[in-house]
């Protein structure tokens, strides 16, 4: 059964002093400049899974670990690797991010500080980002039209669902297209370690698996990550004003009380 995660309007108004004692930021890096880590609150332990050809230049700070990985898959490989390696020693709350999170989450530093200084509480799972969108089981709406998918290959969503859950994919999936999220240790451990080991194998074997994982992180942890008011809304939903490059105009489709 899926449980509902707190929405950001609720969590940003929270002033609960029960913030998890252990916080961790997991970064999936390729060649990105990581000097932005200097602004990450000291309460966060930082673990970098590095797939780059050159070691990252890091700012001086304690509690930073770099783990080298082969350059396969997308960010999901690093995320799943962390869940498998640290399954028995997870932080109370872990934030998972790409090496350059700000394109997808412009307020990323703001959110980390809110978590670190008890201005935000994540009780289960929180998808970060400022766009909510949807796709179908073949990716015809988004994935097949993606500029880097030059051949228009379909998304292997049915094969992915069969491999991971032994069931067909839903006809429609609503998600935050960013692969940035915060999740508690309890939610990660709601699945056995063997589940993440299987997921890691799928990540390596199935073409475009990373795009499948991007669409279902909330389901993986047994939560409903989309706020109720946006599940059936016309997509995409923009949770902040954006400037459109083609017209120079600004979209005003902003959700009530939500930020990226």
Stretch 147-166: mean pLDDT:
96
pLDDT at position 63, please?
A: 82
Stretch 188-211: mean pLDDT:
97
pLDDT at position 260, please?
A: 60
* Strands 64-68 and 172-175, bridge-based pairing: unpaired
More confident residue, 118 or 189: 189
pLDDT at position 19, please?
A: 45
Has residue 9 got a pLDDT over 80?
A: no
| Confidence band for 23, pLDDT divided at 50, 70 and 90 | very high
User: Quick check: is 208 in a domain?
Assistant: yes
| Percent of the chain at pLDDT exceeding 90 | 75
User: Quick check: is 76 in a domain?
Assistant: yes
Number of domains composing the chain: 1
Cα–Cα dist 140/146, whole Å: 10
| Confidence band for 21, pLDDT divided at 50, 70 and 90 | confident
Q: Are the CB atoms for 115 and 93 separated by under 8 Å? A: yes
User: Quick check: is 39 in a domain?
Assistant: yes
User: Quick check: is 108 in a domain?
Assistant: yes
- Which two three-digit tokens encode residue 78? 């690093």
User: Quick check: is 138 in a domain?
Assistant: no
User: Quick check: is 216 in a domain?
Assistant: yes
User: Quick check: is 241 in a domain?
Assistant: no
Domain encompassing residue 186: 3-128+177-229
User: Quick check: is 48 in a domain?
Assistant: yes
SS3 content of the chain, % helix, strand, coil (to 5): 30, 20, 50
Domain of 26, CATH number, reads: 3.90.550
Has residue 10 got a pLDDT over 80?
A: no
- Average pLDDT of every residue of the chain: 87
Can you say whether the dihedral through the CA atoms of 116, 111, 191, 27 is positive or negative? negative
What is the SS3 string spanning 112-126?
HHHHHCCCCCCCCEE
- Please state whether the predicted TM-score (pTM) of the whole model is above 0.85: yes
| Confidence band for 213, pLDDT divided at 50, 70 and 90 | very high
Phi (first) and psi of residue 187, to 5 degrees: -70, -40
25-67 tens-digit pLDDT: 999 999 899 999 999 999 999 999 999 877 788 877 778 999 9
pLDDT at position 67, please?
A: 94
| Confidence band for 207, pLDDT divided at 50, 70 and 90 | very high
What is the SS3 string spanning 185-206?
HHHHCCCCHHHHHHHHHHHHHC
pLDDT at position 72, please?
A: 83
More confident residue, 14 or 84: 84
Has residue 256 got a pLDDT over 90?
A: no
């Amino acid at each position: 059964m899926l449980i509902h995660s707190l929405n950001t309007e609720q969590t940003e108004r929270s002033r609960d002093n029960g913030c998890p004692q252990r916080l961790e930021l997991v970064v999936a890096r390729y060649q990105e400049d990581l000097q932005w880590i200097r602004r990450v609150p000291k309460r966060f332990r930082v673990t970098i899974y590095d797939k780059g050809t050159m070691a990252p230049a890091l700012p001086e700070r304690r509690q930073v670990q770099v783990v080298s990985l082969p350059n396969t898959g997308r960010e999901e490989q690093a995320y799943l690797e962390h869940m498998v390696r640290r399954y028995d020693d997870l932080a109370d709350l872990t934030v998972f991010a790409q090496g350059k999170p700000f394109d997808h989450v412009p307020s990323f530093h703001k959110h980390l500080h809110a978590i670190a200084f008890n201005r935000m509480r994540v009780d289960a799972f929180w998808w970060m980002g400022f766009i909510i969108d949807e796709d179908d089981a073949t990716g015809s709406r988004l994935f097949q039209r993606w500029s880097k998918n030059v051949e228009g290959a379909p998304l292997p969503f049915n094969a992915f669902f069969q491999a991971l859950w032994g069931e067909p994919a839903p006809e429609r999936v609503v998600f935050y297209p960013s692969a940035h999220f915060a999740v508690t240790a309890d939610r990660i451990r709601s699945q056995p370690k063997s589940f993440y080991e299987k997921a890691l194998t799928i990540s390596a074997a199935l073409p475009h698996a990373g795009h499948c994982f991007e669409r279902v992180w909330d389901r993986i942890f047994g939560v409903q990550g989309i706020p109720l008011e946006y599940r059936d809304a016309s997509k995409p939903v923009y949770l902040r004003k954006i400037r459109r490059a083609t017209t120079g105009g600004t979209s005003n489709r902003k959700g009530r009380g939500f930020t990226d």
